[in-house]
Amino acid sequence: MPVINGRYQQAGRAFSAAVVHAATDETADKLTLDLTAAYEAEGLQSLTRTLVWHKEQLPRLELKDEYRYEGVPESWTERFITWRKPEALSSGAVLLPGHESGGVKVTYDPAVVKPQINEHVYRDHFGQEKVWHSLDFQSVRPGSEGSYAFSFQFI
């Protein structure tokens, strides 16, 4: 979920995505969405997300967001939500740990985005406090055009 200029975006029927391309074969599934209408961000001209699911022994998901903006946004953050606390592995890699072992290794370009791990608490329907985490990748230098790519590799 991109966070543009520090604002979370609206949800609902008026804020939707459109399928631009969908294809599948024996080795990969590909989906491209136009997310422009999903965000009420002044100056956003286009936002597309491409997802490629590689059907390997240990599956891998590639996610790429590309945008065009009138002017330059103050900030751009790619946010991923998880119940498990992410762990920094190295510059360019974060681990989303599995239940008992393994997990998902998230790779990114450290020259383009910087990760920030945040812990959040909410009260569920039973009044119990639950912890969740956001893995925010903040753009180093947002421009009038940009792209952000992430790979999620099961390990």
pLDDT (tens digit, 9 = 90+) per residue, 18-52?
Answer: 999 999 999 999 999 999 999 888 899 999 999 99
Pairing of strands 87-90, 103-107: unpaired
Distances (CA, A) of 69 to 104, 108, 118: 31, 22, 27
Q: Output 108 or 74, whichever has higher pLDDT.
A: 108
CA 114 – CA 52 distance, rounded (Å)? 23
What's the average model confidence in pLDDT over 68-89?
A: 95
Q: What is the DSSP letter of 38?
A: G
Residue 7 clears pLDDT 80, i.e. is over it:
no
Please report the pLDDT score of residue 16 as a whole number.
85
As a whole number, the mean pLDDT across the chain is: 92
Question: Which carries the bigger pLDDT value, residue 150 or residue 1?
Answer: 150
CB 72 within 8 A of CB 143: yes
DSSP designation for 36: G
Q: Structure pTM? A: 0.86
Asked if the model's pLDDT at residue 60 lies above 60, the reply is yes
Task: Name the pLDDT band for 91 (thresholds 50, 70, 90).
Answer: very high
